[in-house]
Amino acid sequence: MPQKFFSAFVLKYSKKKSKMKILLLDKNHPLIEKQLSAKGFTFEEDFTSTYDEVLEKISNFDAVIIRSRIPLDENFLRHAKHLKFIARVGAGMENINVKVAEELGITLINSPEGNRDAVAEQVLGMLLLLMNRLIISSEEVKKGIWKREENRGEEILGKTFGIIGYGNMGKAVAKRLQGFGAKIIFHDILPNLQDEFASQVSLEELQQSADFISLHLPINESTHYIINEDFISKMKNNFYLINTARGKNVETSALVKALKSGKIKGAALDVLEFEKASFENIEVKNDNLEFLLNSEKVIITPHIAGWTVESKEKLAQVIVDKILLKYS
């Protein structure tokens, strides 16, 4: 069922009136308050209080809707005596202590369906900019510099595109690649995910075949620094790296070393190892970061993959629909 018809269905047939009080800790699309208020939910907005200030009042609420501003760690969750659910407007849940939430019977809701299309479009956009030196050559021409041979690009056609993590985002990328003439493969820890868009392979096979690697992973113990010196050394081909997942999926020192050697031909990074947990800025500066910021082989954006006008509304609508299905 298409999203807009599904949303209309949920709103029409969810009859019960809720008396839940929800704390909004981040600014989101106004449709969240509008649609949930119509079903009896009440709200308090708090976009400025510190962690400790929120902690003092969290026991007064039945639910929290967040993005990334405040970590919902074990201490927070154990103070939240009446919390029934946490809804994150986005995909990743690393700012929430999932294990403790599950132990306490708190339902966790997220909305990766809402920005998968925006992420996929940015992956392709960044890659095409990088491979064809479009930013570099454009800036040169604006300065009166006309270089053709130096700005010769590469094509995706005929190459192998490897995706690590085949959930909402990974699959959306594979779908967008249809028509580019590439072989599309992916690796995922879950079995039997192969579909009409991509073939599932082992990590070793991906390393033997891929000319591109695009990461679409959460951050946890097994994915922290999944791209490190050992991983890179096992790649048969020199390759392009695209990361729109989490900064700590990539060990920056290993990335820089591989960029200098040419093993990594270029990197399109929407996320950095040195970001704040809230994704609001960079909290660490060092020589490796300086290299990335000044390298012609690297494109960096400020954690905006998935950050479109359309995705802002879709993310919010998915959250509303999931809340109403369970609590209305």
Walk across the sheet containing 85-88 and list its strands.
42-45, 21-24, 63-66, 85-88, 107-109
Cα(71)–Cα(80) distance, integer angstroms: 13
Cα(223)–Cα(111) distance, integer angstroms: 21
Q: Are 226 and 254 in contact (CB under 8 A)?
A: no
Amino acid, res. 316: A
Cα(251)–Cα(27) distance, integer angstroms: 31
Around Cβ 128, how many Cβ atoms within 10 Å?
A: 15
- 247-272 b/e with 16+ CB inside 10 Å = b? bbbbbbbbbbbbbeeebbbbbbbbbb
CA dist list (Å): 277 to 224, 248, 268: 14, 11, 20
Residues with active-site annotation: 246, 275, 303
Tell how far CA 239 is from the center of its chain: 22
